[in-house]
Amino acid sequence: MTRWYPLAEADDEFLASAPFRFVQAVDVPADAARVWRVLSADDALVSWSRLITGMDWTSPRPFGVGTTRAVTVGRAATLRERFYRWDEESRMTFTAEASSKPGFRRFAEDMALTPLTGGTRITWTFAIEPVPKAAPLLRLGRPAFQRVTAGWAKGLAEAIGR
């Protein structure tokens, strides 16, 4: 049986001020409706990232505020996430409620869609507060986290273009 480590709730203030923030922006030649379908698909995340090995919506459709899912990164950890913002075709934001591995105090992600002429800009923000013992490791790993999150954003853009 998996042991779960609860995380403190995150909010918009945390998204803006987290000790570790990674912001990725990609422009895609698709309207917000198409982008939203990819973001909320049954195979979201796993279809555009080799590092995400599992994703399960744990709430029934239609999705909205309060929707939950579980996301597994490799064999490293699974996060239980709850969306506190769900603005259809515009913005989705979640706070992680628990992790299968220790290391995070708070974790959140925000995806904001901005209409452009001929497409959409996706701004994906990752906000992390590690537990004190994990902070030095996260500081050392900052360049790797930057590459990984950039790769996820690039993969998302490629999935939208398919």
Q: Is residue 112 part of a domain?
A: yes
145 lies in which domain range? 18-161
Q: Which residues contact 23 (CB under 8 A, 6 or more apart)?
A: 123, 124, 125, 126
- 109 within some domain: yes
Strand partners for 24? 124
> Within a 13 Å sphere around the CA of 68, how many CA atoms are in the beta-carbon half?
8
Whether the pTM exceeds 0.85: the reply is: yes
Number of neighbouring beta carbons within 10 Å of residue 68: 15
Query: Which tens digits make up the pLDDT trace of 144-155?
Result: 999 999 999 999
Q: 3-class DSSP state for residue 37? A: helix
- Tens digits of residue pLDDT in 100-125: 999 999 999 999 999 999 999 999 99
Asked if 123 contacts 17 with a C-beta cutoff of 8 angstroms, the reply is no
Is residue 119 situated within a structural domain? Answer: yes
- CATH code at position 39: 3.30.530.20
In a domain, 42, yes or no: yes
Backbone angles phi, psi at 104, to 5 degrees: -100, 140
- The tens digit of pLDDT for each residue in 38-96 reads 999 999 999 999 899 999 999 999 999 999 999 999 888 999 999 999 999 999 999 99
